[in-house]
Amino acid sequence: MPDAGAGQAATRDFGVYLHVPFCRVRCGYCDFNTYAPGEVDGATPEGYVGAALAEMAQARTAMAGDNRPARTVFFGGGTPTMLDASALARLLDGVRQTWGLAPDAEVTTEANPDSVTAESLAELAAAGFTRVSFGMQSAVPHVLETLDRTHNPQNVALAVGWAREAGLAVSVDLIYGTPGESLDDWKASLAAAIALEPDHVSAYSLVIEPGTRMGLQLRRGMISPTNPDVQAEMYEVADEAFAAAGLSWYEVSNWSRTPTQRCRHNVAYWTGQDWWAVGPGAHSYLGPRIGAAGEPLPARRWWNVKHPLAYAARLAGGQSPEDSGEELDAEAVAFERVMLGVRLADGLPVTEVPPHRRDRVAGLIAQGLVEGKAAIGPHARVLLTRRGRLLADAVIRELT
């Protein structure tokens, strides 16, 4: 954990992430640190809440002197709404007591459509949650089946309606490029998502990770990956559909109805703000700061032990749950700023590109990957074209 993270980094915002490692079932594509019932004997939601609150108590000591309240709080997983709404409210109260909440704090929970009720969402809103992000993924039954998603697609509209009634902002998450998904399937999912009139949409291309069940199916020839050209077309179709519905891209895979409805928590990640991450396997980050004795402290990233029982046992014994960490020098921080900042619709100031790479910008403009007008003048920025968004990784390689 940070060395008496006492120095207040007044120029950066502070957020809190809570990783809830429980799911009803493990989806075949998922490589997150999550556990379905019966996978870990003795790991219970009740035990998780106690351990998470104990980690917050340690954080209060570790960050003594840093008086920044949390401007964003994000409950992810896993499926946070596998916990009762009252348990999520207790955890949010823990955040309040540890760091405080900014008056305009954004407080989000992820949820599966089948894991909420009108009553539970109303309870979350009353507890201070402001936003819910539903894992819709697809509206097509055979695509959901391939992804091992268990929710009934008709329930998404119900859940969104309940969230609206509770006064919560709504985001829906989609995945495209699932094996066996046609372009027409994807268009049907887009139409269904847009019909919900969400404030925010995320759409990610499926990546089949080697250690997942889907990765095993791929190795055995049971499924075939989607053609990258088809995935690119799916992205373009999505961007056009979202724009027509009044949703503007602000990060390569994210669209919002207005700038104020962007996911502020994720924007904090992408712009190098600070956050403390609570829970098994959760990753935290504090940027360069000044220590209690006035000494400069480097940026630091650290992560907790992954197993829920090991996490709880450490905290029960008064130990830090940290598994390992790393310090980041100025060069590493600058590299990450380029890697993440390029993906944003606000663009990356050309002055933040390493000096020996700035001459590459002209070539990227010539290739149609970067907007030419935005890259000229005293406020020049690297701003991706739509084609540049499709090839964002290549742009980043050129600039780093």
Q: What is the CATH number of the domain that holds 355?
A: 1.10.10
Residue 356 lies in a domain: yes
The residue segments making up the domain with residue 75 are: 14-269
Instruction: Please count the other Cβ atoms lying within 10 Å of the Cβ belonging to residue 111.
Output: 23
Please choose, from the candidates 156, 129, 151, the residue with its C-alpha nearest in 3D space to the C-alpha of residue 141: 151
Residue 54 lies in a domain: yes
Model pLDDT for residues 280-336, shown as the tens digit of each residue? 999 999 999 887 788 888 999 999 999 999 999 999 999 999 999 999 999 999 999
Cis omega (within 30 of 0) for bond into 318? no
Residue ending a domain, among 269, 294, 312, is 269
212: pLDDT strictly greater than 70 = yes
Average pLDDT over every residue of 103-111: 97
- Residues 65 and 181 occupy one common structural domain: yes
3-class DSSP assignment, residue 18: strand
Average pLDDT over every residue of 367-371: 97
Residue 119 lies in a domain: yes
Token pair belonging to 89? 């409210």
- Residues 161 and 259 occupy one common structural domain: yes
Residue ending a domain, among 223, 253, 269, is 269
Residue ending a domain, among 244, 269, 294, is 269
Distance CA 256, CA 247 (A): 5
169: pLDDT strictly greater than 60 = yes
Average pLDDT over every residue of 141-164: 92
Token pair belonging to 337? 């700023």
142: pLDDT strictly greater than 50 = yes
Distance CA 256, CA 262 (A): 5
Residue 291 lies in a domain: no
* 278 beta partners: 18
Please choose, from the candidates 196, 166, 148, 170, the residue with its C-alpha nearest in 3D space to the C-alpha of residue 85: 166
- Residues 129 and 47 occupy one common structural domain: yes
Q: State the pLDDT at residue 6.
A: 46
Residue 300 lies in a domain: no
